[in-house]
Structure 1
Amino acid sequence: MNISGNTVFIPGATSGIGLALALALQERGNTVIVGGRRTALLERIAAEHPGIDTAQIDTADAASIEAAAARVLARHPRLNVLITMAGIMRVEDWHRPESFLADAEQVLTTNVLGPIRLIGAFIGHLQTRPDATIVTVSSGLAFTPLRATPSYNASKAAIHMLSESIRLQLADTSVSVVELVPPAVRTSLLPGHENSDAAMPLDEFVGEVVGLLEREPEATEIQVERVKFLRYGEARGDYDQVVAALNATDPHATHR
């Protein structure tokens, strides 16, 4: 993925990693459209950051995705990058179904069906662009499980394998597939973790991501150094120790 000269749509970018990445990409000469559910937040972002366009979208709603895609493409026919940023995380207790089932269904709808539906809404258009990119967002927890968030872990493992698979299928097109693999980052993905000592500062994370995109435009996975402890535990042969360390240090650390 080239770091500049793109038209980029980022659903789920009204806060956290999504918004910080949107602003960083705008600074590097990209046209950026931020998507989100709450119109008040979108209006504030547009007012505070001239040049950023916005689109109302609920990525848990298939009809909302289709409608938003039509509006975005009508306004931005040169769109060539889709970043499927939207995601939720829930702490679950799997001892009793009433303690986890509703949350698990919401997590999988947003984190797995959401990106699938988004890609489905844009893939036809992206194949018409000479240089297009789909950026998926998995997590270090796709590779090392956090005890407190089973469905989130599973959703991000699904996104990893989805990314690997559609990259193979789309190899005969102009569309590349890049997987962003965050570690724990200081966002509001779970309450109270904006200042977690176990999480990476947001500006530090986005700065490293942009640097990797600049240096490695052909990369298929964007991994900051901090996520490699989780990403490669099995390959290194210390997976059990990595699982134990993750769950001992911060049982509710957020990884997106």
Structure 2
Amino acid sequence: MRLEGKTVLLTGGTAGIGEAMAHQLKAKGAEVILTGRSSDGLARMRDAGFEAIETDLSSPAGVRTIVDTLGEREIDVLINNAGQGVDHDFREAPPDPDAADDCIYANLNTPIRLIAAFVEQLKGRPQAAIVNVTSGLAIAPRAGGPVYCATKAGLRAYTQAIRAQLAGTSVNVIEALPPVVDTQMTAGRANRKMPAEECARQIIRAIEQDRTEANVGMVKLLKAVHSASPALARRIMLKF
């Protein structure tokens, strides 16, 4: 896909991977409509020339805000990038089920609802794409983040299924699987982290090359280990 002249709806575009993708997409000539919930982040991106929609995607109201704001406008690419983590470790403290619900909604329900809202319009475009940003943890979970991992594994399965449904249409369905990336969500973690700019570059390259899966950085190695031995991949990642 040639991104020049394309209109991209990018969720979670005010920080981290999303902010890096917004700038790189704009540099390639795309019109980027992004979403976020940070007032400072939204103001910064608007100052940089982006159209930005303020919305919290951990509830149905957040999705309705996007749909209502866009109205009849057409998009060519939907990037479901927004996501959030949640503390959910019984070894440390009793988890908050309400916080888990917010995480599940933001990471899984919102992408499903946005795809449902825009898929028919996307099918009418000459060339279109849906990009769902999951995680290497969708392949094998880590013990400390069961809810986050479950949402990403669920989105991975959903992505694979709708890719089969949309085969033969103009819509390419892409899954992007980042490793640990240097973002606000991973602050305080000692793991080796990929710069957000490099992660964004690899995801955008996958869109341009019409690929169906972007295994970013160390996820390539995880995918190879999982292909050889799913049990070994699980043992490694549960300790991660």
TM-score normalized by the length of structure 2: 0.89
Q: Secondary structure at the match of 1:171?
A: coil
1:223 & 1:120 partners in 2: Cα distance? 25
**In the TM superposition, what are the counterparts of 1:138-153 in structure 2 within 5 Å?**
138-153=134-149
TM-superposed CA distance for 1:11, in Å, is 1.3
Greater shift in the superposed pair: 221-230 or 141-150: 221-230
Identify the match of residue 80 of structure 1 among 76, 81, 96. Answer: 76
Match of 2:7 in 1: 7
AA partner of residue 207 (structure 1) = R
Structure 2 residue 195 is the aligned partner of structure 1 residue 201: yes
Task: Specify every segment of 5 or more residues in structure 2 that has no aligned partner in the other structure, as ranges.
Answer: none
Task: Specify every segment of 5 or more residues in structure 1 that has no aligned partner in the other structure, as ranges.
Answer: 252-256
Question: Cα 1:125–1:171, aligned 2, differ >3 Å: closer, same or farther?
Answer: same
Greater shift in the superposed pair: 144-153 or 198-207: 198-207
AA partner of residue 63 (structure 1) = A
Greater shift in the superposed pair: 217-226 or 94-103: 94-103
Identify the match of residue 62 of structure 1 among 51, 60, 63. Answer: 60
Percent of paired sites with the same residue: 32
1:213 & 1:28 partners in 2: Cα distance? 12
TM-superposed CA distance for 1:205, in Å, is 2.1
**In the TM superposition, what are the counterparts of 1:65-214 in structure 2 within 5 Å?**
65-74=63-72, 77-94=73-90, 98-193=94-189, 196-214=190-208
Structure 2 residue 205 is the aligned partner of structure 1 residue 221: no
TM-superposed CA distance for 1:3, in Å, is 3.6
Is the Cα contact below 8 Å between 2:88 and 2:144 reproduced in 1? Answer: yes
TM-score normalized by the length of structure 1: 0.84
Is the Cα contact below 8 Å between 2:176 and 2:214 reproduced in 1? Answer: yes
AA partner of residue 113 (structure 2) = R
TM-superposed CA distance for 1:147, in Å, is 0.9
TM-superposed CA distance for 1:137, in Å, is 0.9
Q: Render the CA deviation track for 1:225-245: whole Å, top value 9, x for unaligned.
A: 4211222322122x4444444
Is the Cα contact below 8 Å between 2:88 and 2:145 reproduced in 1? Answer: yes
AA partner of residue 233 (structure 1) = V
Q: Render the CA deviation track for 1:144-201: whole Å, top value 9, x for unaligned.
A: 11110001111111111100101111224322211111111111114424xx452112
Match of 2:22 in 1: 22
AA partner of residue 15 (structure 2) = S
Q: Secondary structure at the match of 1:189?
A: helix
Is the Cα contact below 8 Å between 2:202 and 2:214 reproduced in 1? Answer: no
Q: Render the CA deviation track for 1:195-229: whole Å, top value 9, x for unaligned.
A: x4521122222233334444xx2210011242112
Structure 2 residue 227 is the aligned partner of structure 1 residue 235: yes
AA partner of residue 230 (structure 1) = L
CA RMSD of aligned residues (A): 2.2
TM-superposed CA distance for 1:4, in Å, is 3.0
Question: Cα 1:225–1:192, aligned 2, differ >3 Å: closer, same or farther?
Answer: closer
Question: Cα 1:204–1:68, aligned 2, differ >3 Å: closer, same or farther?
Answer: closer
